Chain A
Amino acid sequence: MKICVLVKEVPDAAVEKRMDPGSKRLDRSGEKNLNPFDTHAIEAAMQIREGGAVDVDEIVAVTMGPESAFRALHKAVSLGADRSVHLSDEALAGSDVCATGYALARVLESESPDLVLLGQQSDDGECYTIGAVVADHLKMPSLTQVIKIDVEGGKLRCERQAEYGYDTVDVELPAVISVGDAINEPRYPSLKAIMGAKKKPLDTKATGDVGIEADRVGEQGSRTQVLEINPPPQKEAGEIIEDEDTNETVEKVVAWLDERKLLA
């Protein structure tokens, strides 16, 4: 079995994120890291490999992004991927969900995976949708927010929480599965794995290498347009108590609750 894991480089959680008012795109400058939700997808791939129910020949990390995104791929490889593929092309800048999903599907097609795994959302775009977009292009069955995967007789038995409780779904391969963060606790990479990551094969591909039609990506291929960026309605900031003396803190909280007649 060959598993491709879709990963993304996102601004570090500690960096304050902002929209660039000129281009109306997310400002992606500053410190970057591997999207924390993606580490669960890599871990899921590793657990399938180590579970022994199926032979996993290869785990390939795949990303689309600017030149700097190779660092996210190094991190993915240090967490267990065998090699990585970087789709990088000026023509892709400004792609929306529709264009991004199309481009990722083309690069995945060139790898012919049996299973595509990805995280439930990106830390920056908060989209939750790319897996289902990619799956429709690849004509593969797909499920998102999966919190348990068992490989049984060439199928995946998946569990997830949906609108009415927990669902159990059997999915035939090849498939696209997005995993929820409750699926596992990702391991930490060893120092050796971190050092070795740069030596693992990394293919950089341009749009032309994987047959991406130029008019379907980037700004001209996008089907949505950000018209305006506004601050949210101002909500009055709440009162904050730093707990130094807990007796005093508790006294303040009780007084606050009592004032609002919540202790009647």
Chain B
Amino acid sequence: MSILVYALHYQGEFNKNSLGAVSEGARLAGELGGEAAAVVVGGDDLSDELCASLGNYGVTKVYRARAPEGLAQPVVDVMAKVIQDNGYKYALFGGGLLGFEIGAGLTARLGAGVTMEVTSVKAQDGKLVAERPILQDSAIVDVGYVGEPGIIIGRLNAFDIKEAGGGAAEVVDVDVQLEDHSTKAVMVERGEQRGADVNIEDAEILVAGGRGLGKAEGFELCESLADALGGAVAATRAVVDAGWYPYAAQIGQTGKTVAPKLYLAAGISGAIQHKVGMQNSENIVAINKDPNAPIFEFSDLGVVGDLNKILPKLTEAVKAKKG
């Protein structure tokens, strides 16, 4: 028994980051000479078939517990029991909000070491070492664990999904008595979509706007430029939370992950949570008035200046060039 991976699901489908973590867990367990298992927590949509399908990604066993979905603390109770009963040495999470919360809860419950924002994991002398960028990605640290278990929380999109060609995994139901405090947060509404439903994942060109646009109306500048370029408009979490643009257009940690041919970022500082959703774009152009904005460190072309002046003229120039 070596690695236990949390697999998040919603409406009968597993989360992509979780499938990446399951694949990575299976790979690492192989290197450690052990096996990886997954844990799923939820309601009736967790059918035998759905759970067993995680075998395709390399786990041999799936622990299933019936408990409220979308909240971390019930999962902490389930995973703590599975780890204690079966002696798993590591718990692994893909990128995402719930993984952070569950991993943190387990740290406290089991007195375990934790690393977060992990971009890669390697097996070294029979133990796992997590690699993690720190200080706005200006350094990378290798972190080892003292004692067991070790908890590894991945960065968004850190682990690739790999179908290992394994058969159906064995599904084991676990009965867990939830802690009192784990029942004191109750989901009232989950997954509410705010704003229009827009499709940004298929666009080859994206013009993305951030707080630097100054106000909701600033997005008109992005829309005009996107029209001229034949692309779509995307947004950062900050402006979506502020109600300036629809949630469906959000890039990053709790939004979409994109890799278009051109990503033009207007008024976006380039926080890690945003970067993880767009860093694989082919060409990144950034316009920002702050010359120290982190986005200039990973853009291919940076323009330091006032977007209110630059965007309208750029739109005209693009139209003129394209005829």
Instruction: List residues of chain A with CB under 8 Å of any chain B CB.
Output: 17-19, 24, 26, 96-98, 101-102, 105, 124-137, 139-145, 147, 157, 160-172, 175, 180-182, 216, 222-232, 235, 238-243, 246-247, 249-251, 253-254, 256-258, 260, 262-263
Contact = CB atoms under 8 A, between A and B. Distances in A.
Nearest to A11: B135
Given A132-B104, A227-B144, A230-B142, A145 B97 contact: yes
Q: Which 7 residue pairs across A and B have the least CB separation, nearest first?
A: A243-B305, A223-B113, A182-B241, A132-B104, A136-B108, A164-B191, A129-B104
A171 B318 contact: no
Given A242-B305, A262-B262, A232 B254 contact: no
B318 A129 contact: no
Contacts of B142: 226-230
B287 to A, nearest CB: 8
Nearest to A14: B292
B316 to A, nearest CB: 8
Given A136-B105, A161-B237, A249-B305, A229 B139 contact: yes
A253 B147 contact: no
Nearest to A231: B139
B146 A224 contact: yes
Contact of A253 (B111, B247, B303, B304): B303
Contacts of A130: 104
Nearest to B114: A97
B53 interface: no
B56 interface: no
A223 B146 contact: yes
Contact of B318 (A96, A131, A254): A254
16 contacts: A18-B135, A19-B134, A132-B102, A136-B76, A141-B73, A141-B181, A157-B188, A164-B190, A168-B189, A224-B143, A226-B142, A238-B298, A241-B305, A246-B313, A256-B301, A257-B285
Residue from A235, A240, A250 with most neighbouring chain B CB atoms (10 Å): A250
Tell me the interface secondary structure of chain B in the complex.
mixed
Contacts of A163: 8, 10, 15, 96-98, 254
B196 interface: no
Contacts of A225: 143-146
A229 B104 contact: no
A243 B191 contact: no
Interface string B286-323: 00000100001111111111100110011001100110
B305 A126 contact: no
A133 B105 CA distance: 5
B258 to A, nearest CB: 15
A226 B104 CA distance: 18
Interface string B114-150: 1111000000000001000111111111111111001
Contact of B298 (A132, A161, A235): A235
B112 interface: yes
A139 B181 CA distance: 6
A135 B105 contact: yes
Given A126-B117, A129-B116, A224-B145, A98 B108 contact: yes
Contacts of B10: 163-164
Given A238-B300, A243-B303, A253-B285, A142 B100 contact: no
A169 B317 contact: no
A253 B136 CA distance: 27
B107 to A, nearest CB: 5
B103 interface: yes
A19 B140 CA distance: 10
Residue from A125, A225, A247 with most neighbouring chain B CB atoms (10 Å): A225
